[in-house]
Structure 1
Amino acid sequence: MSDQEFRDEDRIVASTDLLTTRVDGEVMAMSVERGACYGLDPIGSRIWELVETPVTVGDLVVRLTREYEVDAAVCRTDVCALLSSMESEGMIRRV
């Protein structure tokens, strides 16, 4: 499903298969299964925090536009691009 566009009503949740920690306020995640490490910048780390419990894409975008000075359409595009990458790496899943 990772090649499909995200809809506002899609519910996203972080994978529980990753080992995660914070380093200097940023999330570092490791997939033992894939043998891969991922580093998220401050905004990516904030998105990670928000998807640790199931959240809709629409709610995620609304929350981020309130927290950061960003246009909703730009935010949605950027969030969906990150979510798509995270989904293809097994970091998140749709529920």
Structure 2
Amino acid sequence: MSDRFAVPPDVMARQVGEETVILDLASGTYFGLDPVGAHMWQAMVEGKTLAQVCERMLAMYEVSRGDIERDVLALGQKLFDKKLIALL
């Protein structure tokens, strides 16, 4: 939960309405995030630790800590696996 992430230079993201669209320029693939995922993404790319991302999400949504930790870790892992974020 102490990991921090950065966006690689070949990844671009734009907010479209309440969602975020991420483009991997290297592969030409798009990845979309719903509003909740978009908030998680924003906190991650601001350099927040995963624990800080969870705290932000807990302040925004009525959800259990266990659920939000599971969701933040799952999204972080998925983004990392797709090379859309890199560990600092």
TM-score, normalised by the number of residues in structure 2: 0.89
| Alignment-mate amino acid for residue 86 of structure 1 | L
RMSD: 1.3
Question: 3-state SS of the aligned residue for 1:65?
Answer: helix
| Alignment-mate amino acid for residue 10 of structure 2 | D
> Which one of 47, 59, 68 corresponds to residue 66 of structure 1?
59
Question: 3-state SS of the aligned residue for 1:86?
Answer: helix
> Quick check: 2:44–2:50 contact (8 Å CA) kept in 1?
no
Q: Percent identity?
A: 25
Q: Which has the higher helix share?
A: 2
- Long gaps (5+) in structure 2: none
Deviates more, 1:12-21 or 1:45-54: 12-21
Aligned length: 88
> Which one of 32, 38, 42 corresponds to residue 35 of structure 2?
42
| Alignment-mate amino acid for residue 73 of structure 2 | C
Separation in 2 of the partners of 1:37 and 1:91? Answer: 10
Deviant stretches of 4+, over 6 Å: none
Separation in 2 of the partners of 1:14 and 1:47? Answer: 13
